[in-house]
Structure 1
């Protein structure tokens, strides 16, 4: 499975490059095309609408053509779109390419993330954290490279470098044999009690939850519970899923708004030059990458719930500071702390919510990431409008409001997770008694 993990990490590195490429050169795009920040937000919105389409189509494509072909298709779109960006087309074409790029990101991220969670069951939290570390490295290196290219006057080469890495990853998915992981690359998805029980054990949940996971997958005869018609989720499970989906929508929207507009915010808030402001984005992703190195250990001691609640609380506190402080050194310090606070939210949030649905990992992952894509499409548009219409601190208070909403949502997710575990444990005990 080592080849799969290495290739997954390289894929997330490329996706990290792609996710921040537009934001790293947003100032240059706005000036080159003579548009405002709200129009720049439309480019980001299109990219995430494409992302949403890729995520939503991922389960269907896996069933129709298999995981390998789906991932190959994702990186074809990735490489084509980034190459198109580098060719400096009309703005309308840029908006179309953004949809294709986003589709590649969403399809690739969903297929690879679900594949790793399913195969590397006993190490899924650490494996997902490692993927996110490489995503962060990509998002760290690209802005630093873009800052240098901006200084040299070749900022469009930013997109060319992303296209080159995407093409390398595409070739590896086409040609590299994956050993034992090949059994998971076709159209069939592994199901059944063994998978569910191992997922429960790998997540470190209690014996009651593990028994419930076995029940859900069919290892033992499942007690009848009320289902929401046409979804396959119980009523309690649907409530948890909706809350988790809302959390991911706000989180991804916040992160994409912050990262895509951070250079512009730093330039206007602290008077930094364009290249120096772009470096602040590298510092943010450096902090995220560093924090993700320790996420597995920290969650092993704190648990998923406590980790996520503390991260949300810290994010709210840091965004308050960013709204109130203008000095460049202080703002840069707070940006680093923001990166540390948000380091593990995505990966651990994905694992935490999936913990309740061990027999629906592909479907649940797709729903959560698609809702994240929806938030990533809408909130940057709002942020661009705020930057055009008001002072920069208004956008910072928007970020604070999002972090508070995340804290409230995670509290509700935790409550529903506990209720669902108790309900399932009671049903199993009643059945066995």
Structure 2
């Protein structure tokens, strides 16, 4: 595996920790800052406002400084934001650091994912599944480290690990070779029929459906990342140290699922994979909303992680497969709409949790999953119709 792919995995691992650490300590942070979960929603919202800034910034940074400069800058911004969380546990600095954290993460993800999609066209799902597995590993280790910090009475120190990792990766990124070298060796994605988009209307519809899938999925994932410990505290009456492990259980399953995604992508085309994964996500969230057993709650977190594990990366590569002439634009749009979903859905979820308690928040989670399944099914139906050749469509119509 090229050194650059290893660097990409390290960057995604660091981003995974940066994504979940705040949610892991959120119950204590809210208590320390004398605020409510509405403030937690504000933090998540500003983090994803940072995504909206970071995505176009990625395009500008790559044009001006190349991939290396953009990667080093993204790591440095994330390091500074995480250090700010550690040093200034006050409401206003937290809001500023959350915004900066989103900028750094979006700048990294848009830059790295665009380069990998461009440089490994025949192995997009296989390569991207490795980086997403690294992201998931960060999401597993982040809450575990946060739980240890909470137990030691120093929950702010959880952000210091992210700051140290980001600073180290900024240095490593400055010296890692970066070039478009797809040796064509190694496992490849399973064959998926080309999608024939004959006119602007078809292209706009299919692109909009893909972006809607990304928006809803990332919003759902962000709700789990940032509020699952709070839901377990409210729903099952658990202490914060125990509740934070729910995110680790979820992300441990995500890592296992994402490692398996690389193998599944060699056997199963993109369309049926997405439909089955979205259906499993819906069923699991419905069962979780009705569960009153703590043990079953953790088991359902594992199943939720398994079903959700490959949805983002497969949607990303499927969208690029549908628009092979727009790789850079599609990848950045995916990151942008990921930020949009990560800002809006958790904001609504945090408000629901603060105003109505965990029961209705659980229902909201299931409703988000239902919408995701509906959009994925619609996208699958449209792309399947457009995958036929013109002669096949005429024959089917006649």
- Give the TM-score band, short-chain normalised: over 0.9
Q: Does the CA-based 8 Å contact 1:59-1:363 persist in structure 2?
A: no
Q: Does the CA-based 8 Å contact 1:121-1:202 persist in structure 2?
A: no
Secondary structure of the equivalent of 1:355?
helix
The 5 Å alignment of 1:353-364 reads 353-364=319-330
Secondary structure of the equivalent of 1:29?
helix
Q: How many residues align?
A: 390
Match of 1:57 in 2: 57
Unmatched segments (≥5 aa) in structure 2: 393-398
Q: Does the CA-based 8 Å contact 2:224-2:247 persist in structure 1?
A: no
> For each residue in 1:242-272, what CA deviation from the matched residue of structure 2 results, as whole angstroms up to 9, or x when unmatched?
1111111111111101121111111111122
Question: What is the CA distance between 1:202 and its match in structure 2?
Answer: 5.6
- Please tell me whether residue 94 in structure 1 is matched to residue 94 in structure 2: yes
Question: What is the CA distance between 1:348 and its match in structure 2?
Answer: 0.8
Structure 1, 85-94 or 249-258: larger mean CA deviation:
85-94
Question: What is the CA distance between 1:422 and its match in structure 2?
Answer: 3.2
- Please tell me whether residue 171 in structure 1 is matched to residue 171 in structure 2: yes
Q: How far apart in 1 are the matches of 2:239 and 2:91?
A: 25
- TM (norm. structure 1) is 0.86
Q: How far apart in 1 are the matches of 2:74 and 2:144?
A: 26
Q: How far apart in 1 are the matches of 2:45 and 2:109?
A: 18
CA RMSD in angstroms, aligned pairs only = 2.1
- Please tell me whether residue 69 in structure 1 is matched to residue 69 in structure 2: yes
| Runs of 4+ residues over 6 Å off in structure 1 | none
Q: How far apart in 2 are the matches of 1:312 and 1:393?
A: 22
Question: What is the CA distance between 1:372 and its match in structure 2?
Answer: 1.2
Q: How far apart in 2 are the matches of 1:256 and 1:17?
A: 13
Q: How far apart in 2 are the matches of 1:164 and 1:62?
A: 24
> For each residue in 1:226-247, what CA deviation from the matched residue of structure 2 results, as whole angstroms up to 9, or x when unmatched?
4xxxxxxx32111111111111
Q: Does the CA-based 8 Å contact 1:237-1:420 persist in structure 2?
A: no
Describe the shift of the 1:309–1:183 C-alpha distance in structure 2 as closer, same or farther (beyond 3 A).
Answer: closer
Question: What is the CA distance between 1:302 and its match in structure 2?
Answer: 2.6
Match of 2:46 in 1: 46
Match of 2:27 in 1: 27
The 5 Å alignment of 1:194-209 reads 203-205=189-191, 209=194
Q: How far apart in 2 are the matches of 1:132 and 1:242?
A: 23
Match of 2:280 in 1: 314
> For each residue in 1:393-429, what CA deviation from the matched residue of structure 2 results, as whole angstroms up to 9, or x when unmatched?
1111111111111111111212222343336x669xx
Picking from 255, 258, 264, the partner of 2:221 is: 255
Question: What is the CA distance between 1:89 and its match in structure 2?
Answer: 4.3
Question: What is the CA distance between 1:122 and its match in structure 2?
Answer: 2.4
Q: How far apart in 1 are the matches of 2:189 and 2:326?
A: 15
Secondary structure of the equivalent of 2:155?
coil
- TM (norm. structure 2) is 0.93
Question: What is the CA distance between 1:362 and its match in structure 2?
Answer: 1.1
Unmatched segments (≥5 aa) in structure 1: 185-194, 217-224, 227-233, 428-433
Match of 1:302 in 2: 268
Q: Does the CA-based 8 Å contact 1:42-1:381 persist in structure 2?
A: yes
